[in-house]
Structure 1
Amino acid sequence: MGELIERLRRLGRERREWICLPLGLAVALLGRSVLPLIAGAVAVPLVRRWLAARRRKREREQREAAVIELCGTVAGDLRAGRQPGEAVAGIKDAGMGPGWPEVSAAARFGGDVPDALRKAGRQPGAEGLNGVAACWRVAVDGGAGLAAGLERVAAALGAERDQRDELDAQLTTTRSTAVMLAVLPVLALLMGAALGAAPLQVLLHTPAGLGCLVLGGLLESAGLAWTRRIVRAAVGDGPGEGKGE
């Protein structure tokens, strides 16, 4: 029974976009119209794309943090007297996705570690591994200090992340505006229903209401698209260009 509940919970987390259907059905029953159900069905792929974008952003941020932590950990091990291959091979789960086992294997068995690092660095958020690969190559070929190079890479990646976090904080007002644009129509419907105006009946069963619904939907979409464009332009001009949402 516990395993079944856990599976249901995992399925709910992985398929959260399907909640649009019961919500649309509930509104359709309240308004006695099939239009909300159709809107709920149309919203499913849109919400799925939004959730997927959020998941990719979260994974990218986790990999960025993992690369910074990796640089600090390996640099500390090197200064403690461990060999580079031994220090990297000792990191079992670096949080950088499926490309890391190849790096660990190359370090453990004497393979081409820089090449494995560059391959792992192709994942979104793990681009800092290209700098680690360059430091590794220079340290092996030229005898430069790998620990110092890794510390500089970690400092540069940390500074870039801090700048991006500061930009995100500055964009909070713009994102809040987008949330308000999405929530205001729902609040207006709730207020109308509380006043006994039957807004769903007017919107879904009268020509004027349908016209207002279409026009409001177009204006809502235009407002959200414009706000999203402002955010993307700001992110594109800031640090980490090309890594926007």
Structure 2
Amino acid sequence: MTGALLAAALAVLLWPDAGTLRRARLRAVRSGPAGVGPRPRTVPLPVAVAVSVAAVAVAVSTPVVAGLAGVGAIAGARSWQSHRQARRAEGRLRSLTEGLGALGAELRSGRSVEAATDAAVAACADDACGAALAAALRAPGVPVPQGGDAEFVGALRRIAAAVLLSARTGCSLAAVTAAVEDDLRARRRLRQELRTATAGPRASALLLAGLPVLGLVMGSGVGADPWGVLTTTGTGQVLLVAGVALEFAGLAWSARLVRRAVR
């Protein structure tokens, strides 16, 4: 019990500070793509979650269950972070698309590139996206940073190349902007269609993943003690480890198949 309390206290100390992370992101945005400064020393979220879950599991069950719970917590936290990053990337692309739409409309109405840039930045819901679009339009000769989503960076590079081409040859910047905007919208529609098509397989995978838990509940309901057998006997612990490993392998394989289909 004392060890569990110490582990829980350690997890609280290691938990990432949300305020520190927000301040670090604000400093990175204000300093620009080339800004280099000391990064805050924070423990990754999966580690903190794993320590917390393992501490609770040690307090209520065996060390084997605690270890499995920690591994499951790391996998769950990484999956959550991956989905969160994907949502952020989708939001940046949507914001960039809206900014390009405003930019093209302003240019077609006869306004200057500077005035159209201001309107495009104002149309971007994401401040970082607006700053990146403004940099690509006002300083097209500066290389676009490599970090971030590849599709987002590629769109910015095309916009910067269009600005340079328009300045050198006098071609219409509005036409190139409209082409990039249409391409982003088409890709977004395709991703939505693929997500809809793969919603059934994802739901089936989650349902199959929950069947072992349902089996434990049903076994307890008929008077058996499957959880006690799995956690207190040697054979049961081996079966528990093997079952959890197969469960993770199945989830990882199904997620890989869905990702390949979406791509």
Q: Report 1:94-133 matches (<5 A).
A: 94-95=124-125, 98=128, 100-101=130-131, 104=134, 111-112=138-139, 114-116=140-142, 119=144, 123-124=148-149, 125-126=151-152, 127-133=154-160
Say how many residue pairs are matched: 221
How far does residue 35 in structure 1 lie from its aligned partner after superposition?
2.3
Greater relative contact order (Cα < 8 A, sep 6+)? 1
Q: C-alpha offsets along residues 105-124 of structure 1, whole Å, 9 cap, x if unaligned? A: 686xxx52x235x5168531
How far does residue 226 in structure 1 lie from its aligned partner after superposition?
2.2
1:220 counterpart = 2:247: yes
Q: TM-score, normalised by structure 2?
A: 0.70
1:170 counterpart = 2:200: no
Q: TM-score, normalised by structure 1?
A: 0.74
Q: Report 1:3-42 matches (<5 A).
A: 32-42=61-71
2:91 partner letter: Q
1:137 to 144, 152, 164: 164
1:204 counterpart = 2:234: no
2:103 to 56, 61, 74: 74
1:192 partner letter: G
Coordinate RMSD, CA, aligned: 3.2
Given that 2:53 and 2:70 are in contact with CA atoms closer than 8 Å, whether structure 1 keeps it comes out as no
How far does residue 95 in structure 1 lie from its aligned partner after superposition?
4.7
How far does residue 27 in structure 1 lie from its aligned partner after superposition?
5.5
Q: Indicate how the Cα distance of structure 1 residues 89 and 105 shifts in structure 2: closer, same or farther if over 3 A, else same.
A: farther
How far does residue 130 in structure 1 lie from its aligned partner after superposition?
2.0
CA distance in 1 between partners of 2:66 and 2:96 (Å): 45
Q: Secondary structure at the match of 2:148?
A: coil
CA distance in 1 between partners of 2:94 and 2:136 (Å): 22
Given that 1:181 and 1:220 are in contact with CA atoms closer than 8 Å, whether structure 2 keeps it comes out as no
Range 49-58 or range 98-107, more displaced: 98-107
CA distance in 2 between partners of 1:56 and 1:230 (Å): 20
1:5 aligned partner: none
How far does residue 16 in structure 1 lie from its aligned partner after superposition?
8.4
Q: C-alpha offsets along residues 110-166 of structure 1, whole Å, 9 cap, x if unaligned? A: x52x235x5168531413222222322222222222222211211111111111221
CA distance in 1 between partners of 2:51 and 2:207 (Å): 23
Given that 1:132 and 1:150 are in contact with CA atoms closer than 8 Å, whether structure 2 keeps it comes out as yes
CA distance in 1 between partners of 2:52 and 2:165 (Å): 58
Task: Extract structure 1 runs of 4+ deviating beyond 6 A.
Answer: none
2:116 aligned partner: 87
1:53 aligned partner: 82
Gaps of 5+ in 1: 1-8, 237-245
1:161 partner letter: R
Gaps of 5+ in 2: 1-16, 20-43
Q: Percent identity?
A: 29
1:243 aligned partner: none
Range 16-25 or range 42-51, more displaced: 16-25
1:232 aligned partner: 259
How far does residue 85 in structure 1 lie from its aligned partner after superposition?
1.7
Range 121-130 or range 140-149, more displaced: 121-130
